[in-house]
Structure 1
Amino acid sequence: MNAVKRFGAATLLSLPLLAQATDIDKAAAIETQTVKAAAASQQRIDVSDEQAQSTKAEIEKLEREIENLTLYRNHLKSLVENQEQEQASLNQQLEEIALTRQGVVPLMYRMIDDLDVWVSQDLPIKSAQRQNRVDGLKTLMTRADVADAEKFRRILETYQIELDYGAKLGIYQETLPLDGVERDVDILHLGRLSLVARSLNGDAFWFYDQSTTKWLPVDKRAYEAIQQAFDVANKKQPPTLMALPLSISMVKGAAQ
């Protein structure tokens, strides 16, 4: 009986202990769940933070791209504006060139006509060569494959050549009708003042008389002085004072 009582008392005493153990287990389970939940929550927080950082980086990247695109757009806009200005300037220049060309082309034709008259009325210094040069300019003006600038340059070049004839002592050979006979002669010109022909053997001289447009014989007394001028032109002797018949009408009588 006593034993039964003791067992019963022990059972009664163990009930609070069992209840306490159950509460501890529950608390432990709750704690474990709480820790797990906290870990999961922290993981979600970490993932969310990484996503936020990634999103932030992406946003910053997009902002930089937008900034670069904005700068590039402004750059293109400036280029387009500049190209429009250049196009307007080119259009204006083309209009001015067209107007200038309308004035330059007639001017070139007049210059060639003046050259033609000049050569035909001038002393016959290399007349065939000079006339061919003028005729070449006339042909040049009709060529569409040659720029107007090149045509104008060639005309000015011809003018310079013509000017040089009037400032130089020159000598060349040509065939002329002299005294009714075709003769090969040496021709000397002192600018546009004197034009003299000499037979190849040096035994006769003629001078061109502009007033009659004829070659006239030179008095034999002037042969030595004229020969000296030929020697100077051929660089056989140094430059010196030369006595030459002038190819102008007022000295026709004096030269003979």
Structure 2
Amino acid sequence: MKLSKLAQASLLLSVSATSLMFSSLSYSEALATSDNDQLTHVVNAGQQINDSAAKSQQKVNRLTDQVLTKLQQFHVVTKEVDGLTVYNQQMQAQLDNQMSELTQLANSMEEVSVIERQISPLMARMISTLDTFVNLDVPFLPEERAKRVDDLKTMMTRADISVSEKFRRVLEAYQIEVDYGRTIEAYSGLLDVDGTTMDVDFLRIGRVSLVYQTRDGSRLGEWKQSANGEGQWQELSQDYRLGINKSLRIARKQLAPDLIMVPVSAPTNATTSQAE
């Protein structure tokens, strides 16, 4: 059976339309698929950018923390350096002063060695002078004073005593002798009276008066110093007994200081006066 031309044309048109419709659908589906792929790619790219940005921010944060830490450490170290600079300046000033003192000490040591060579002969002369003075002086505490001089002479030969200590002891002995001249003292001892050794009480008032009294008070005497340094004991009148007893008690701190009547020795003829 043969189709008419019109039918053939209709059939051909229907087939073309159907093909066109299927083609359009295929194109639309392909277009949708392509858009989805592009969107997914864009989303993935954005996610990658966000991830990269987050990592970059973390890295920036770490670097910032490191910078801040290093900056704090820098400030701390800077302060320590400033403090050490001031400390070093102070230590340098002290070191300079110590070096100056060392120089002065070195010079002083050289001078001391010179002085030491000169002071030993001086001390020997001082001891000899003191010995002569004690021998010519009023004879109070003779054993004690002679022993002090002998100890000084022995000391000068000892190597275990420094020069400064030797000089100090010599000056101390001189000071003791000076103090004798302005003090009052009472002490007991033995005295040869007219060939008989008797136990007596001595009274010394400075260096102007040296008297004795026997324990029973029966005999009194005074030391008379001559102009040439020699002297002797002379008897005193019993008129001085009360004054001497009072003076002995004052010297022993048994009475308060008061006016006393004692004989005063002189290089020439003895005189009698009031002493306090």
What does 1:68-83 align with in structure 2 at a 5 Å threshold? Answer: 68-83=83-98
Distance (whole Å) between structure 1 residues aligned to residue 79 and residue 238 of structure 2: 97
**Residue in structure 2 matching 1:251, options 269, 273, 276:** 269
Q: Which residue of 2 aligns with 1:226?
A: 240
- Report the structure number with the largest CA radius of gyration: 2
3-state SS of the aligned residue for 1:84? Answer: helix
**Residue in structure 1 matching 2:78, options 30, 47, 63:** 63
What does 1:127-142 align with in structure 2 at a 5 Å threshold? Answer: 127-142=142-157
Amino acid at match of 2:246: V
- CA, structure 1 residues 10+106, in 2 after alignment: closer, same or farther (shift >3 Å)? same
* TM-score under structure 1 length normalisation: 0.76
- Residue 119 of structure 1 deviates from its aligned partner by 0.8
Gapped regions of structure 2 (runs ≥ 5): 1-14
3-state SS of the aligned residue for 1:235? Answer: helix
Q: Percent identity?
A: 29
Distance (whole Å) between structure 1 residues aligned to residue 209 and residue 82 of structure 2: 83
3-state SS of the aligned residue for 1:109? Answer: helix
Contact 2:211 2:223 in 1 (8 A): yes
Q: Which residue of 2 aligns with 1:52?
A: 67
Amino acid at match of 1:229: G
The answer as to 2:42 corresponding to 1:16 is no
- CA, structure 1 residues 165+225, in 2 after alignment: closer, same or farther (shift >3 Å)? farther
What does 1:101-116 align with in structure 2 at a 5 Å threshold? Answer: 101-116=116-131
The answer as to 2:254 corresponding to 1:239 is no
- Residue 132 of structure 1 deviates from its aligned partner by 1.1
The answer as to 2:134 corresponding to 1:119 is yes
Q: Which residue of 2 aligns with 1:37?
A: 52
What does 1:185-200 align with in structure 2 at a 5 Å threshold? Answer: 185-200=200-215
- Residue 169 of structure 1 deviates from its aligned partner by 4.7
Q: How many residues align?
A: 249
Amino acid at match of 1:123: V
Distance (whole Å) between structure 2 residues aligned to residue 191 and residue 67 of structure 1: 70
- Two-structure CA RMSD over aligned residues (Å): 3.4
Deviations 1:172-205 (Å, cap 9, x if unpaired)? 3322333233333333444434444443333334
3-state SS of the aligned residue for 1:251? Answer: coil
- Residue 245 of structure 1 deviates from its aligned partner by 7.0
Contact 2:184 2:205 in 1 (8 A): yes
Amino acid at match of 2:151: G
* TM-score under structure 2 length normalisation: 0.72
Deviations 1:58-112 (Å, cap 9, x if unpaired)? 3334433433443343343333223222322333333344444444433332222
Gapped regions of structure 1 (runs ≥ 5): none
Distance (whole Å) between structure 2 residues aligned to residue 81 and residue 105 of structure 1: 36
The answer as to 2:190 corresponding to 1:172 is no
**Residue in structure 1 matching 2:102, options 77, 87, 91:** 87
- CA, structure 1 residues 91+22, in 2 after alignment: closer, same or farther (shift >3 Å)? same
* Most deviating of 80-89 and 200-209: 200-209
Contact 1:188 1:195 in 2 (8 A): yes
